[in-house]
Amino acid sequence: DTAVSQTPKYLVTQMGNDKSIKCEQNLGHDTMYWYKQDSKKFLKIMFSYNNKELIINETVPNRFSPKSPDKAHLNLHINSLELGDSAVYFCASSSRTATYEQYFGPGTRLTVT
Amino acid sequence: QKEVEQNSGPLSVPEGAIASLNCTYSDRGSQSFFWYRQYSGKSPELIMFIYSNGDKEDGRFTAQLNKASQYVSLLIRDSQPSDSATYLCAVRSYGQNFVFGPGTRLSVLP
């Protein structure tokens, strides 16, 4: 059984386009996250959602917007894509009732041309 | 700004040796500490977490925490070529916000 899943796995698009990445977790966790891992492999948190409320919003451009229809899903919408947005985006989830450890999805490799 | 630092490596060890990975953090209020392994092209995978000062062992892995020195380490005994990966240290302060280090690339030579 897949715990945290993301779609698509690969996404190639042109500058200026708008795209979305979907994430779903079946672990029953109450918090979900989006991370960006750039070419230097640095993993940086972008957003987290707890019970459908944004609780962390790091200094990311407002072209990025997370949307959570329910606590099992956290989608990432990106408007007006730029070359610098090319990276691997990971979704993760954790539970406040456990030990907070985060479990990651397989990642979405976004390439902007 | 909360920071987590790791030696980027690569750290090369022969098969069967002990690999020692180190991590320092800047936030004294940090509460829990995690080690993730990331193979090339894959997602981070949780290996261990530790909350209290001292050692915590799980199979071939031992995590060591020294809050006074703001230092956490991961020892891998009997290193295998399959342990070759990037190891990420993550630190959690208040709430569920994680700060990741840049990772140390480990290479276990057969």
pLDDT in tens, B54-82: 999 999 999 999 999 999 999 999 999 99
List A10's β-bridge partners, or say none. Answer: A109
Given an 8 Å threshold on Cβ–Cβ distance, is A102 in contact with B46?
yes
Rounded percentage of chain B residues whose pLDDT exceeds 90? 82
Query: Is residue B8 scored above 90 in pLDDT?
Result: no
- pLDDT at position A55 is 72
Whether A104 contacts chain B with CB within 8 A? yes
Nearest-Cα distance to chain B for A77, in Å, is 21
Give residue-wise pLDDT tens across range B28-62: 888 899 999 999 999 999 999 999 999 999 999 99
| Paired sense of beta strands B45-50 and B54-58, if any | unpaired
**Cis geometry, peptide bond prior to residue A8 (ω within 30 degrees of 0):** yes
Query: Is residue B2 scored above 80 in pLDDT?
Result: no
pLDDT confidence tier of residue A111, bands split at 50, 70 and 90: very high
Residue A52: name the closest of A34, A30, A22, A23 by CA: A30
Given an 8 Å threshold on Cβ–Cβ distance, is A56 in contact with B92?
no
Least confident piece of the model among A87-96, B11-20, B91-100: B91-100
Task: Tell me which chain B residue has its CA closest to the CA of residue A47.
Answer: B97
Given an 8 Å threshold on Cβ–Cβ distance, is A42 in contact with B100?
yes
- pLDDT at position B69 is 94
Query: Is residue A98 scored above 80 in pLDDT?
Result: no
Q: Residue-wise over A61-97: b if at least 16 C-beta within 10 A, else e?
A: eeebebebeebbbbbbebeebeeebbbbbbbbbbbee
- pLDDT at position B91 is 93
Nearest-Cα distance to chain A for B76, in Å, is 20
- pLDDT at position A39 is 82
Rounded percentage of chain A residues whose pLDDT exceeds 90? 61
